Amino acid sequence: MGVRVRVATPERVELAAPLAPNINHHETVFGGSAAAIATLSAWTLVNLRLRLSEVSARLVIQRNAMSYDEPIHGDFTAVCTLADEASWQRFVATIERRGRGRITMNAQLLYQARPVASFEGDFVALRD
């Protein structure tokens, strides 16, 4: 898939991917590749923040949805940011209290710096 990490901070994960290994028969980005890279950006942000919070947990995706607004004709990026710090604090507290927690994350796919698709997914952390 050719994914490269551009940014990986507790506030933002940005992954870049080229068109060539993710191309479909219309010469645009294959939807499965787009979904996988969007999912990976969100998973990476949650995983990074869990590590920084010193929470040892296995992280899995429970549910996800993609919305494609237009075809992606070239290299693209997936960007995930944490929208709500209060949700994060509840997520961590729930893991510590119950041994598992769930958080909803959102990411956008950008092509030529424009949003072209969006991702929403629920991630579940299971304390080790």
Please name the residue that has the structure tokens 């796919």: 109
Tokens found for residue 120: 């929403």
Q: What is the DSSP string of the chain?
A: ---EEEEE-SSEEEEEE-SGGGB-TTSSB-HHHHHHHHHHHHHHHHHHHHHHTT--EEEEEEEEEEEE-S---S-EEEEEE-S-HHHHHHHHHHHHHHSEEEEEEEEEEEETTEEEEEEEEEEEEEE-
User: What domains, with CATH codes, occur in the chain?
Assistant: 4-127 (3.10.129.10)
Residue 16 pLDDT level (bands cut at 50, 70, 90)? very high
Task: Give the CA angle between residues 30, 9, 33 to the nearest 5°.
Answer: 5
For residue range 23-77, what is the model confidence (pLDDT) as tens digits? 999 999 999 999 999 999 999 999 999 999 999 999 999 999 999 999 999 999 9
Hey, which residues does 108 pair with through a beta bridge?
79, 118
For residue range 68-88, what is the model confidence (pLDDT) as tens digits? 999 999 999 999 999 899 999
d(CA 67, CA 93): 31
Predicted model pTM: 0.96
Hey, which residues does 22 pair with through a beta bridge?
none
